[in-house]
């Protein structure tokens, strides 16, 4: 695979099965390199074939009305300053009608059970800015009174709030349901339409400390009522009996850990339903949409489960017991069942296919689309080979991607972000591009990764000031284990790279082991000392990983790679984005100056605004290609 072939990919997502059990609405995303934009359209499987239903270029989030006669979705126009608005398409014929005009757009939309309207989460200017023109808003100095005041991928957030509104699709009337100096997300309707649930952080130290609460509010208006304490909550939902459920952790300081599904009882107690799995049902990667759970009429539900590099689909009984429905070495990235579960529309991807739409009928799978048939037929894609490391009483899983041929190839150790994320059995364009350029890729899920249970993901807490923290031991052991099992990997030509936590770990690996002849650190965390006050998650993220060490300035310093940067000798390329608010660009600047001062071969490639932390995944198409070009040139310069 070559970098420019990103434009050949068609990525399906967010399948939504029609109430008739036949039609399926889903999103297809493609890159337009010439226009330097993403093109997103709603597609329709009509029971016979799949075709584009909307023209785009920014159509997402399809939602069938309860009677199936209308399809709501979010539409973003082609203008650079366009914001997504709610649109409704009559399936009987005609054009989609945009029914909202919020200045900062709509983030979510869900039909009411009656089908007469939708609840939306819309973004609005704070009151003192609402009536100003754009030039005056831009001119005024920002008065900051809370944290975070800017957020990665969203930009400046101190001047806006997200609130829930009710939209009557017949009259067009809009009623704001929530207000105040808060933000709401994750709306869910009670099946009787009497109330809505959502997630919101309303505690005094929100932002400085992690956590939010689950709230409900009458659909006729009123004050919200808290249904949980402060925890790490997401994906609220009601089952058909009207019982409220949520995914998450009751301890606001509990990250990282396995987040199960809970039923919220009437007295506020939590009944944990999937704790026995010791696995996440809402992975960080890949993105899952629709999210878990999806409820069936009798109280069962479908849930996605992240396990050992795969994302499977399971059926969960009302009591929480689970049975696998869709497994294999792949990732189910979204599933939508009919009322009795006899039909399930789903999207799945595996390492050599970016994804296709499927239908499960009474246990039998049927692939409905061939969106990527031409790409996979005309591109030599590497199939990963699994290997494991057994040491220190644990088993650690990894994969090797090798290009065709028999000759020796340079070894590239790739380190994922998170750190509570994972590599696995889904299509990852980066690995295919690197193998296409002649490298052997080693990917590993060291301790600290998700997909292997609570003990695995929590093993690194409070250890990053130690040279032999569990993740460092696992990463370096993976190089030795992979090279021993796959003799084509050239131990004399080894590079290391990663982004976010992967950038952090790359710097630590390069400082510890001089075997690496090339290093690329991307959007990394290099100094907790400054990260604490500059990152949008700095105050709480630092505390959950450093724990009691957060009170010791020396330990805070020693936990960051800058403390050992004098030991880095590998030529190092630093990739960072100007508006990365997760690991701000000052992190990369500090490492660059340190290496430059130490006369280590180093360069810094800065991607201009508005690129942020997610540039490698969702940045402008041209920047993504230029990033690939820079990576291949750098490794080629030092690894041959």
Mean pLDDT confidence for 187-210: 97
Mean pLDDT of the chain: 96
Distance in angstroms (rounded) separating the CA atoms of residues 79 and 98? 16
Mean pLDDT confidence for 54-66: 96
What is the per-residue DSSP string for 378-443? HS--PPPEEEEEEETTEEEEEEEE--SSSS-EEEEEEE-STTT----SS--HHHHHHHHTTPEEEE
Distance in angstroms (rounded) separating the CA atoms of residues 348 and 357? 7
Note the pLDDT of residue 170.
Answer: 86
- Tell me the pLDDT band of 253, cut-offs 50, 70 and 90: very high
| Greatest Cα pair distance in the chain | 70
Q: Could you read off the pLDDT of 308-324 as tens digits, one per residue?
A: 999 999 999 999 999 99
Residues 387 and 456 in one domain: yes
573 preceded by cis ω (within 30°)? Answer: no
Note the pLDDT of residue 171.
Answer: 87
Residues 332 and 400 in one domain: no
Task: Decide which of 359, 379, 399 is a domain's last residue.
Answer: 379
In CATH, what number is assigned to the domain containing residue 601? 3.40.50.1820
Mean pLDDT confidence for 73-92: 93
**513 within a domain of the structure (yes/no):** yes
**63 within a domain of the structure (yes/no):** yes
Residues 385 and 355 in one domain: no
Residues 582 and 551 in one domain: yes
Residue 57 confidence (pLDDT) above 90? yes
Distance in angstroms (rounded) separating the CA atoms of residues 278 and 260? 8
**Segment among 90-94, 217-221, 597-601 with least mean pLDDT:** 90-94
Q: Could you read off the pLDDT of 563-583 as tens digits, one per residue?
A: 999 999 999 999 999 999 999
Mean pLDDT confidence for 551-571: 97
What percent of the chain is modeled with pLDDT above 70?
100
**410 within a domain of the structure (yes/no):** yes
Note the pLDDT of residue 79.
Answer: 87
Note the pLDDT of residue 265.
Answer: 96
Helix (H, G, I), strand (E, B) or coil at 623: helix
Residues 305 and 391 in one domain: no
Handedness of CA 502, 506, 508, 509 (dihedral sign): positive
Whether 255 and 300 have beta carbons less than 8 Å apart is answered as no
Residue 266 confidence (pLDDT) above 90? no
Note the pLDDT of residue 172.
Answer: 84
**480 within a domain of the structure (yes/no):** yes
Q: Could you read off the pLDDT of 270-292 as tens digits, one per residue?
A: 999 999 999 999 888 899 999 99
74, two tokens: 């979010």
**304 within a domain of the structure (yes/no):** yes
Mean pLDDT confidence for 369-382: 97
Q: Cβ contacts of residue 586 below 8 Å, gap of 6+?
A: 530, 534
Q: Could you read off the pLDDT of 166-184 as tens digits, one per residue?
A: 999 988 899 999 999 999 9
Note the pLDDT of residue 49.
Answer: 97
**262 within a domain of the structure (yes/no):** no
Note the pLDDT of residue 284.
Answer: 85
Segments forming the whole domain that contains residue 420:
380-639
Note the pLDDT of residue 507.
Answer: 98
Q: Could you read off the pLDDT of 388-411 as tens digits, one per residue?
A: 999 999 999 999 999 999 999 999
Residues 586 and 627 in one domain: yes
Q: What is the pTM of this model?
A: 0.95
Residue 347 confidence (pLDDT) above 90? yes
Residues 608 and 573 in one domain: yes
Whether 591 and 570 have beta carbons less than 8 Å apart is answered as no
Mean pLDDT confidence for 545-559: 96
**302 within a domain of the structure (yes/no):** yes
In three-state form (DSSP H/G/I as H, E/B as E, the rest C), the secondary structure along 497-530 is: EEECHHHHHHHHHHHHCCCEEEEEEECCCCCHHH
Residues 635 and 488 in one domain: yes
Residues 309 and 451 in one domain: no
Distance in angstroms (rounded) separating the CA atoms of residues 453 and 450? 7
Residue 78 confidence (pLDDT) above 90? no
Residues 364 and 448 in one domain: no
Question: For 225, phi and psi rounded to 5 degrees?
Answer: -120, 130
Residues 392 and 472 in one domain: yes
Residues 460 and 499 in one domain: yes
Count how many Cα atoms sit within 13 Å of the Cα of residue 212 in the half-sphere of its side chain: 19
Q: Could you read off the pLDDT of 416-464 as tens digits, one per residue?
A: 999 999 999 999 999 999 999 999 999 999 999 999 999 999 999 999 9
Q: Could you read off the pLDDT of 444-453 as tens digits, one per residue?
A: 999 999 999 9
Q: Cβ contacts of residue 164 below 8 Å, gap of 6+?
A: 119, 120, 121, 122, 176, 177, 178, 184, 187, 196, 198, 217
**221 within a domain of the structure (yes/no):** no
Whether 276 and 305 have beta carbons less than 8 Å apart is answered as no
Mean pLDDT confidence for 335-347: 97
Nearest to 194 by CA among 170, 229, 162, 225: 225
Residue 622 confidence (pLDDT) above 90? yes
Number of domains in the chain: 2
């Amino acid at each position: 695979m070559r970098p420019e072939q990103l434009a050949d990919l068609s990525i399906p997502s967010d399948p939504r099965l029609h109430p008739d059990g036949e039609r399926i609405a889903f999103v297809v995303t493609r890159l337009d390199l010439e226009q330097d934009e993403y093109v997103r359209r709603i597609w329709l499987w009509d029971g016979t074939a799949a075709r584009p239903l909307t023209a785009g270029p920014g159509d997402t989030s399809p939602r069938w009305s309860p009677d199936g006669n209308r399809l709501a979705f979010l539409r973003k126009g082609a203008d650079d300053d366009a914001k997504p608005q709610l649109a409704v398409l009559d399936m009987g014929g005609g054009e989609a009608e945009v029914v909202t005009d919020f200045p900062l757009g709509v983030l979510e939309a869900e039909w009411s059970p009656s089908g007469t309207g939708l609840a939306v989460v819309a973004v609005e200017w704070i009151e003192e800015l609402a009536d100003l023109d754009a030039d005056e808003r831009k001119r005024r100095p920002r008065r900051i009174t809370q944290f975070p005041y800017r957020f990665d991928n969203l930009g400046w957030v101190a001047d806006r709030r997200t609130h829930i509104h009710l939209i009557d699709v017949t009259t067009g009337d809009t009623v704001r349901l929530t207000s105040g100096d808060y933000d709401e997300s994750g709306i869910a309707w009670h099946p009787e339409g009497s109330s809505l649930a959502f997630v919101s952080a309303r505690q005094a130290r929100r932002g400085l400390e992690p956590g939010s609460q689950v709230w409900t509010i009458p659909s006729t208006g009123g004050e919200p009522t808290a249904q949980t304490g402060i925890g790490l909550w997401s994906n609220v939902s009601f089952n058909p009996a009207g019982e409220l459920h949520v995914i998450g952790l009751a301890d606001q300081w509990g990250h990282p850990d396995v987040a199960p599904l809970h039923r919220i009882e009437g007295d506020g107690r939590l009944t944990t339903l999937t704790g026995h799995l010791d696995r996440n049902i809402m992975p960080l990667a890949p993105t899952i949409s629709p999210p878990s759970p999806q409820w069936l009429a009798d109280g069962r539900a479908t849930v996605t489960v992240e396990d050992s590099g795969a994302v499977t689909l399971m059926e969960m009984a009302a009591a929480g017991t689970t049975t696998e429905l869709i497994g294999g070495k792949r990732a189910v990235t979204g599933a939508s069942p009919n009322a009795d579960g006899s039909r399930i529309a789903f999207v799945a991807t595996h390492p050599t296919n970016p994804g296709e739409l499927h239908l499960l009928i009474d246990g039998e799978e049927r692939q409905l689309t061939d969106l990527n048939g031409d790409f996979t037929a005309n591109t030599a894609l590497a199939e990963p080979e699994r290997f494991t490391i057994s040491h220190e009483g644990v088993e650690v899983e990894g994969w090797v991607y090798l290009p065709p041929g028999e000759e020796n190839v340079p070894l590239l150790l790739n380190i994922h972000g998170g750190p509570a994320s994972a590599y696995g059995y889904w299509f990852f364009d980066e690995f295919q591009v690197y193998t296409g350029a002649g490298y052997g890729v080693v990917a590993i899920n060291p301790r600290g990764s998700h997909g292997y249970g609570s003990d695995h993901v929590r093993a690194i807490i409070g250890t990053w000031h130690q040279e032999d923290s569990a993740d460092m031991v696992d990463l370096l052991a993976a190089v030795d284990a992979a090279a021993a099992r796959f003799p084509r990997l050239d131990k004399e030509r080894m590079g290391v790279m990663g982004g976010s936590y992967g950038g952090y770990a790359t710097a630590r690996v390069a400082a510890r082991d001089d075997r690496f002849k090339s290093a690329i650190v991307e959007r990394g965390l290099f100094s907790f000392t400054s990260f604490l006050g500059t990152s949008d998650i700095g105050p709480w993220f630092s505390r959950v990983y450093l724990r009691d060490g957060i009170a010791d300035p020396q330990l805070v310093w020693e936990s960051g790679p800058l403390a050992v940067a004098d030991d880095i000798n590998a030529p190092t390329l630093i990739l960072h984005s100007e508006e990365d608010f997760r690991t701000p660009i000052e992190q990369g600047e500090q490492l660059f100056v340190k290496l430059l001062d130490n006369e280590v071969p180093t360069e810094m490639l800065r991607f201009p605004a508005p690129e942020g932390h997610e540039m490698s995944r969702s940045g402008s198409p041209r920047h993504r290609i230029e990033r690939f070009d820079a990576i291949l040139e750098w490794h080629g310069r030092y690894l041959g």
